[in-house]
Amino acid sequence: MNESRRYITGGAIHANLPTPQQTSCPLSRLEFDPAQIRLLLVDDDKVLSEMLKEYLESEQCQVMLASSGHEAVRLLGEKEFDLLVLDIMMPGPSGIEVLKQIRTTRSIPVIMLTARGDDLDRIIGLELGADDYLAKPCNPRELYARIRAVLRRNAPPAMKRQPKIDLDDLRMIPERRELQIRISDNSNGHDLISLTQTEFDLLYLLLQNAGSLVSKSEISTRVLGKPLSQWDRSIDMHISNLRKKLGKHHNGKERIQTLRGSGYIYRPGTNEL
């Protein structure tokens, strides 16, 4: 039986957009040869860009530079990259505008470079689907560590050997990095929900532990690939994005419950758990 499927991005339905597995970065060769990591670094600060490029290339990464949002969008349309390092403050289209544009069709991992202490831009970037952020001026060694952490948690499902999850109206298929949501209780059709790599891994962890508390510390370690820091709100932003994309259960109850100061629980819509 053929199932009807639609593609959803942030609540809007696009019948002809490519599905997430077609637009995610090709990481299958990355476990873990730095020489195979292809990076696009976008920043109008040429001195900083050259310094970061020199260090990353010393780690055997392949690095291409862009100095504007227009150039970044053009290169993303012409070439394949495994990760995008994107400065927020640039002339012309800002990093936020570039991220918003590429997130409509692509799930490439993104690390945002933000001005130190600029919480608003950082929060907006995370809300739009950035995987991580780093304050400028940044240490090249730390940037490289963040790049490896983001790519490691986005490693291909074939390597992770994760089982499919069916819970309530959700179906997660790791080998395709695909989330489906049943259109209605009386239908076999499914919508495809567009998630970033980080959102997918976070939801998968919550569904694996449905009905049980998952601490913020565990999420930070297992999903973000870094220890939890006191003032880091990135997990909260990713949870907020998931709530917007998934909506509530058919009975009107929230899917993801916050236990303030502790973590999150995915609450099934049935009484099974």
Average pLDDT for runs of 10 along the chain of length 273 = 39 33 38 71 92 92 92 88 90 85 81 77 79 87 91 62 85 86 71 86 94 93 83 86 91 91 89 41
| pLDDT of the residue at 41 | 96
What does the pLDDT read at residue 7?
36
Domain assignment present for residue 271? The answer is no
Q: What is the CATH number of the domain that holds 165?
A: 1.10.10.10
Local structure of 63: helix, strand or coil: strand
AA letter at 118: D
Q: What is the dihedral of CA 57, 60, 64, 69, to 10 degrees?
A: -80
Q: Is residue 114 classed as helix, strand or coil in its secondary structure?
A: strand
pLDDT of residue 18: 34
Residue 273 lies in a domain: no
Which pair of structure tokens corresponds to residue 45? Answer: 């600060």
In a domain, 191, yes or no: yes
Residues 139 and 210 both lie in one domain: no
What predicted TM-score, i.e. pTM, was given to this entire model?
0.56
Residue 34's pLDDT is 56
Q: How many domains does the chain have?
A: 2
Condensed to tens digits (0 to 9), the pLDDT of residues 46-86 reads: 999 999 999 999 988 999 999 998 999 889 888 889 899 99
CA pair distance 54, 241, nearest whole angstrom? 35
10 plus 35 within the same structural domain = no
Secondary-structure breakdown of the chain: helix, strand, coil percentages, each rounded to the nearest 5: 35, 20, 40
For residue 147, what pLDDT is reported?
A: 92
pLDDT of the residue at 225: 78
Nearest-angstrom CA–CA distance, 55 and 61: 9
On whether both 165 and 147 belong to a single domain, the answer is no
| Tokens describing residue 206 | 């919550």
Same domain, 129 and 232: no
- Residue 272 belongs to some domain of the structure: no
pLDDT one-digit tens code per residue, 152-182: 877 654 445 678 899 989 999 887 788 999 8
Task: CATH number of the domain at 67, please.
Answer: 3.40.50.2300
Are residues 149 and 161 located together in one domain of the fold?
A: no
Q: How far apart are CA 56 and CA 227, in angstroms?
A: 23
Q: Are 154 and 222 in contact (CB under 8 A)?
A: no
The closest of 194, 107, 104, 101 to 156, measured between CA atoms, is 107
- Spatial distance between the Cα atoms of 104 and 110, rounded to a whole number of angstroms: 14
In the block, tokens 């291909």 appear at 156
Full residue range of the structural domain in which residue 199 is found: 5-17+157-266
Last residue of one domain, picked from the residues 126, 153, 180:
153
Domain finish residue from 97, 121, 153:
153
Select from 124, 153, 182 the last residue of a domain.
153
